[in-house]
Copies of this chain bind each other. A is one copy, B any other.
Protein backbone atom coordinates (compact mmCIF):
# COMPACT_ATOMS: atom_id res chain seq x y z
CA UNK A 1 0.00 0.00 0.00
CA UNK A 2 1.33 3.39 -0.98
CA UNK A 3 0.21 6.22 1.34
CA UNK A 4 0.95 9.87 0.74
CA UNK A 5 0.57 12.10 3.78
CA UNK A 6 0.14 15.76 2.98
CA UNK A 7 0.98 17.79 6.07
CA UNK A 8 3.28 15.73 8.22
CA UNK A 9 2.61 17.22 11.65
CA UNK A 10 0.89 15.89 14.77
CA UNK A 11 -2.12 14.44 12.89
CA UNK A 12 -0.45 13.29 9.66
CA UNK A 13 2.65 12.05 11.46
CA UNK A 14 0.63 10.04 13.96
CA UNK A 15 -1.27 8.40 11.08
CA UNK A 16 2.09 7.56 9.50
CA UNK A 17 3.40 5.95 12.70
CA UNK A 18 0.37 3.69 13.15
CA UNK A 19 0.07 2.83 9.46
CA UNK A 20 3.65 1.65 9.51
CA UNK A 21 3.13 -0.58 12.52
CA UNK A 22 -0.22 -1.95 11.30
CA UNK A 23 0.53 -2.46 7.60
CA UNK A 24 3.90 -4.11 7.09
CA UNK A 25 4.10 -3.57 3.35
CA UNK A 26 3.24 0.12 3.51
CA UNK A 27 5.29 2.80 1.79
CA UNK A 28 4.76 6.25 3.22
CA UNK A 29 5.45 9.43 1.31
CA UNK A 30 5.46 12.82 2.92
CA UNK A 31 4.50 16.17 1.44
CA UNK A 32 4.75 19.42 3.36
CA UNK A 33 5.06 23.08 2.38
CA UNK A 34 7.33 23.46 5.40
CA UNK A 35 10.72 22.04 4.33
CA UNK A 36 11.99 21.79 7.90
CA UNK A 37 8.99 19.72 8.91
CA UNK A 38 9.53 17.44 5.94
CA UNK A 39 13.20 16.93 6.80
CA UNK A 40 12.30 16.28 10.39
CA UNK A 41 9.69 13.73 9.34
CA UNK A 42 12.30 11.92 7.21
CA UNK A 43 14.81 12.05 10.05
CA UNK A 44 12.26 10.67 12.51
CA UNK A 45 11.34 7.90 10.08
CA UNK A 46 7.73 9.00 9.91
CA UNK A 47 7.94 8.89 6.11
CA UNK A 48 10.10 6.90 3.70
CA UNK A 49 10.44 9.60 1.06
CA UNK A 50 9.47 13.14 0.27
CA UNK A 51 7.00 13.52 -2.58
CA UNK A 52 5.28 16.24 -4.56
CA UNK A 53 1.53 16.66 -4.69
CA UNK A 54 1.76 15.78 -8.38
CA UNK A 55 2.57 12.18 -7.39
CA UNK A 56 -0.77 11.45 -5.72
CA UNK A 57 -2.11 9.51 -8.71
CA UNK A 58 0.25 6.68 -7.75
CA UNK A 59 -1.00 6.54 -4.17
CA UNK A 60 -3.59 4.13 -2.81
CA UNK A 61 -4.35 6.49 0.03
CA UNK A 62 -3.79 10.23 0.39
CA UNK A 63 -4.24 11.77 3.83
CA UNK A 64 -4.69 15.54 3.84
CA UNK A 65 -3.76 16.78 7.31
CA UNK A 66 -3.23 20.51 6.92
CA UNK A 67 -4.97 23.47 8.62
CA UNK A 68 -8.62 23.67 7.56
CA UNK A 69 -8.24 26.85 5.49
CA UNK A 70 -5.72 25.32 3.09
CA UNK A 71 -7.30 21.88 3.42
CA UNK A 72 -10.13 22.64 0.99
CA UNK A 73 -7.74 24.02 -1.63
CA UNK A 74 -5.23 21.21 -1.19
CA UNK A 75 -7.86 18.47 -1.20
CA UNK A 76 -9.32 19.87 -4.43
CA UNK A 77 -5.88 19.88 -6.00
CA UNK A 78 -5.26 16.32 -4.83
CA UNK A 79 -8.62 15.15 -6.22
CA UNK A 80 -7.88 16.81 -9.56
CA UNK A 81 -4.72 14.73 -9.78
CA UNK A 82 -5.94 11.57 -8.05
CA UNK A 83 -5.99 8.20 -9.77
CA UNK A 84 -9.27 6.40 -10.28
CA UNK A 85 -8.52 4.10 -7.40
CA UNK A 86 -7.00 6.66 -5.01
CA UNK A 87 -8.72 7.18 -1.65
CA UNK A 88 -8.36 10.74 -0.38
CA UNK A 89 -9.39 11.64 3.15
CA UNK A 90 -8.91 14.77 5.23
CA UNK A 91 -8.78 15.07 9.01
CA UNK A 92 -10.07 18.59 9.59
CA UNK A 93 -12.03 19.87 12.55
CA UNK A 94 -14.73 21.43 10.32
CA UNK A 95 -16.68 19.45 7.75
CA UNK A 96 -19.42 21.57 6.21
CA UNK A 97 -17.13 23.82 4.15
CA UNK A 98 -15.10 21.03 2.61
CA UNK A 99 -18.15 18.87 1.88
CA UNK A 100 -19.90 21.79 0.18
CA UNK A 101 -16.85 22.82 -1.82
CA UNK A 102 -16.21 19.32 -3.10
CA UNK A 103 -19.86 18.40 -3.69
CA UNK A 104 -19.67 18.92 -7.42
CA UNK A 105 -16.14 17.64 -7.96
CA UNK A 106 -15.86 15.03 -10.71
CA UNK A 107 -13.87 12.80 -8.35
CA UNK A 108 -16.07 13.35 -5.29
CA UNK A 109 -16.35 9.56 -4.95
CA UNK A 110 -12.62 9.35 -4.24
CA UNK A 111 -12.97 11.59 -1.19
CA UNK A 112 -14.01 10.69 2.35
CA UNK A 113 -14.70 13.49 4.86
CA UNK A 114 -13.17 12.48 8.17
CA UNK A 115 -12.60 14.04 11.59
CA UNK A 116 -10.70 11.97 14.12
CA UNK A 117 -11.47 13.40 17.58
CA UNK A 118 -7.95 13.18 18.80
CA UNK A 119 -4.91 15.33 19.17
CA UNK A 120 -2.82 16.99 21.78
CA UNK A 121 -1.94 20.62 22.41
CA UNK A 122 1.35 20.10 20.54
CA UNK A 123 2.07 20.38 16.81
CA UNK A 124 4.63 19.55 14.13
CA UNK A 125 6.25 16.20 13.23
CA UNK A 126 7.96 15.86 16.62
CA UNK A 127 4.48 15.89 18.19
CA UNK A 128 3.47 12.72 16.31
CA UNK A 129 2.80 9.79 18.64
CA UNK A 130 1.85 6.16 18.28
CA UNK A 131 -1.70 5.10 19.10
CA UNK A 132 -3.02 8.66 19.02
CA UNK A 133 -6.18 7.30 17.42
CA UNK A 134 -6.68 4.18 19.49
CA UNK A 135 -10.14 4.14 21.15
CA UNK A 136 -10.90 7.60 19.77
CA UNK A 137 -14.02 8.55 17.89
CA UNK A 138 -13.67 9.14 14.18
CA UNK A 139 -16.50 11.11 12.59
CA UNK A 140 -17.23 10.31 8.96
CA UNK A 141 -19.50 12.67 7.03
CA UNK A 142 -21.51 11.95 3.86
CA UNK A 143 -20.18 8.40 3.68
CA UNK A 144 -22.65 7.58 0.90
CA UNK A 145 -20.87 9.98 -1.43
CA UNK A 146 -17.67 7.91 -1.36
CA UNK A 147 -17.11 4.90 -3.63
CA UNK A 148 -17.93 1.71 -1.77
CA UNK A 149 -14.56 0.01 -2.28
CA UNK A 150 -12.75 3.16 -1.07
CA UNK A 151 -15.02 3.29 2.00
CA UNK A 152 -13.92 -0.26 2.69
CA UNK A 153 -10.24 0.63 2.39
CA UNK A 154 -10.70 3.59 4.74
CA UNK A 155 -12.62 1.51 7.27
CA UNK A 156 -9.94 -1.14 7.32
CA UNK A 157 -7.35 1.52 8.14
CA UNK A 158 -9.50 3.10 10.84
CA UNK A 159 -10.29 -0.28 12.32
CA UNK A 160 -6.64 -1.36 12.48
CA UNK A 161 -5.79 1.96 14.10
CA UNK A 162 -8.44 1.23 16.75
CA UNK A 163 -10.89 4.03 16.01
CA UNK A 164 -14.59 4.07 16.83
CA UNK A 165 -16.58 5.17 13.78
CA UNK A 166 -19.57 7.53 13.92
CA UNK A 167 -21.46 8.75 10.87
CA UNK A 168 -22.74 12.28 10.91
CA UNK A 169 -24.17 15.03 8.76
CA UNK A 170 -21.49 17.76 8.20
CA UNK A 171 -23.80 20.55 9.43
CA UNK A 172 -24.57 18.71 12.67
CA UNK A 173 -20.89 17.84 13.06
CA UNK A 174 -19.81 21.47 12.88
CA UNK A 175 -22.53 22.58 15.30
CA UNK A 176 -21.74 19.91 17.89
CA UNK A 177 -17.98 20.19 17.62
CA UNK A 178 -18.20 23.96 18.20
CA UNK A 179 -19.58 23.14 21.65
CA UNK A 180 -17.38 20.27 22.70
CA UNK A 181 -14.11 21.33 21.13
CA UNK A 182 -13.89 24.80 19.62
CA UNK A 183 -15.45 26.56 22.62
CA UNK A 184 -13.12 24.71 25.02
CA UNK A 185 -10.14 26.09 23.17
CA UNK A 186 -11.40 29.67 23.31
CA UNK A 187 -12.33 29.41 26.99
CA UNK A 188 -8.85 28.10 27.68
CA UNK A 189 -7.02 30.69 25.60
CA UNK A 190 -8.96 33.55 27.20
CA UNK A 191 -8.44 32.12 30.68
CA UNK A 192 -4.72 32.03 29.98
CA UNK A 193 -4.83 35.57 28.64
CA UNK A 194 -6.74 36.89 31.66
CA UNK A 195 -4.28 35.40 34.10
CA UNK A 196 -1.19 36.42 32.14
CA UNK A 197 -2.40 40.01 31.87
CA UNK A 198 -2.96 40.23 35.57
CA UNK A 199 0.00 38.37 36.86
CA UNK A 200 2.95 40.18 35.42
CA UNK A 201 5.12 38.48 37.96
CA UNK A 202 5.16 34.95 36.66
CA UNK A 203 6.70 33.60 39.77
CA UNK A 204 3.40 34.22 41.53
CA UNK A 205 1.45 32.19 39.01
CA UNK A 206 3.93 29.41 39.21
CA UNK A 207 3.64 29.21 42.96
CA UNK A 208 -0.09 29.48 43.28
CA UNK A 209 -1.32 27.55 40.30
CA UNK A 210 -2.27 23.99 40.94
CA UNK A 211 -3.37 21.13 38.78
CA UNK A 212 -6.85 22.63 38.32
CA UNK A 213 -5.46 25.69 36.60
CA UNK A 214 -3.09 23.59 34.50
CA UNK A 215 -6.00 21.44 33.38
CA UNK A 216 -8.25 24.34 32.36
CA UNK A 217 -5.55 26.25 30.45
CA UNK A 218 -3.86 23.27 28.85
CA UNK A 219 -5.49 23.96 25.49
CA UNK A 220 -4.05 27.50 25.47
CA UNK A 221 -0.81 25.83 24.38
CA UNK A 222 -2.46 24.86 21.09
CA UNK A 223 -1.26 26.06 17.70
CA UNK A 224 -2.73 29.41 16.51
CA UNK A 225 -1.93 28.37 12.93
CA UNK A 226 -4.25 25.41 13.30
CA UNK A 227 -6.99 27.08 15.33
CA UNK A 228 -7.41 30.44 13.57
CA UNK A 229 -8.70 28.78 10.36
CA UNK A 230 -11.00 26.53 12.38
CA UNK A 231 -12.66 29.54 13.99
CA UNK A 232 -12.96 31.19 10.58
CA UNK A 233 -14.42 28.09 8.94
CA UNK A 234 -16.87 27.48 11.76
CA UNK A 235 -17.55 31.14 12.47
CA UNK A 236 -21.35 30.98 12.79
CA UNK A 237 -21.38 28.07 15.21
CA UNK A 238 -18.42 29.36 17.19
CA UNK A 239 -20.07 32.76 17.63
CA UNK A 240 -23.25 31.07 18.83
CA UNK A 241 -21.43 28.97 21.43
CA UNK A 242 -19.39 31.97 22.55
CA UNK A 243 -22.50 34.09 22.98
CA UNK A 244 -24.10 31.42 25.13
CA UNK A 245 -20.94 30.93 27.16
CA UNK A 246 -20.56 34.67 27.76
CA UNK A 247 -24.24 34.91 28.74
CA UNK A 248 -23.87 32.06 31.21
CA UNK A 249 -20.75 33.64 32.71
CA UNK A 250 -22.48 37.02 32.95
CA UNK A 251 -25.52 35.49 34.66
CA UNK A 252 -23.26 33.67 37.12
CA UNK A 253 -21.33 36.88 37.81
CA UNK A 254 -24.60 38.72 38.43
CA UNK A 255 -25.74 36.08 40.91
CA UNK A 256 -22.49 36.52 42.85
CA UNK A 257 -22.78 40.30 42.67
CA UNK A 258 -26.32 40.23 44.06
CA UNK A 259 -25.36 37.74 46.78
CA UNK A 260 -27.70 35.10 45.41
CA UNK A 261 -25.52 32.28 46.62
CA UNK A 262 -28.29 29.72 46.82
CA UNK A 263 -28.66 30.06 43.08
CA UNK A 264 -24.88 29.99 42.63
CA UNK A 265 -24.98 26.65 44.43
CA UNK A 266 -27.84 25.37 42.28
CA UNK A 267 -26.11 26.37 39.06
CA UNK A 268 -23.05 24.38 40.02
CA UNK A 269 -25.05 21.45 41.32
CA UNK A 270 -26.95 21.13 38.06
CA UNK A 271 -23.72 21.18 36.10
CA UNK A 272 -22.14 18.54 38.35
CA UNK A 273 -24.20 16.13 36.31
CA UNK A 274 -21.42 16.44 33.72
CA UNK A 275 -19.57 13.88 35.87
CA UNK A 276 -21.56 11.06 34.33
CA UNK A 277 -20.72 12.21 30.82
CA UNK A 278 -17.06 12.71 31.61
CA UNK A 279 -16.88 9.29 33.17
CA UNK A 280 -18.12 8.00 29.85
CA UNK A 281 -15.38 9.89 28.02
CA UNK A 282 -12.73 8.81 30.48
CA UNK A 283 -13.58 5.18 29.98
CA UNK A 284 -12.63 5.36 26.33
CA UNK A 285 -10.31 8.34 26.03
CA UNK A 286 -6.91 8.49 27.66
CA UNK A 287 -6.62 11.92 29.23
User: Which A residues fall within an 8 A CB radius of B?
Assistant: 117-121, 136-137, 139, 164, 166, 173, 176-177, 179-181, 183-199, 202, 204-222, 224-225, 227-229, 231-232, 235, 238-239, 241-246, 248-250, 252-253, 256-257, 259, 261, 264-278, 280-282, 285-287
Task: Decide: A248 and B216 in contact? CB cutoff 8 A.
Answer: no
Task: Decide: B285 and A214 in contact? CB cutoff 8 A.
Answer: yes
Chain B neighbourhood of A205, CB < 8 A: 176, 179-180, 277
Q: List 13 A-B contacts (CB under 8 A).
A: A117-B209, A118-B211, A180-B199, A181-B213, A186-B249, A192-B271, A193-B248, A220-B271, A224-B264, A228-B261, A242-B256, A246-B246, A246-B253
A225, closest chain B residue (CB): B265
A70 to chain B, nearest CB (A): 14
Task: Decide: A212 and B219 in contact? CB cutoff 8 A.
Answer: yes
Task: Decide: B209 and A252 in contact? CB cutoff 8 A.
Answer: no
A121, closest chain B residue (CB): B212
Task: Decide: B239 and A256 in contact? CB cutoff 8 A.
Answer: yes
Query: Contact check: which of B173, B229, B244, B282 meets A197 at CB < 8 Å?
Result: B244
A213, B177: Cα distance in complex, Å = 10
Task: Decide: B187 and A187 in contact? CB cutoff 8 A.
Answer: yes
A213 to chain B, nearest CB (A): 5
Assuming A118-B210, A194-B245, A196-B273, what are 8 further A-B pairs, CB within 8 angstroms?
Answer: A186-B252, A190-B245, A191-B245, A197-B248, A202-B276, A221-B272, A224-B269, A243-B253
A48 to chain B, nearest CB (A): 30
A104, B244: Cα distance in complex, Å = 46
A250, B190: Cα distance in complex, Å = 10
Chain B neighbourhood of A286, CB < 8 A: 211
Query: Contact check: which of B184, B197, B213, B248 meets A281 at CB < 8 Å?
Result: B213
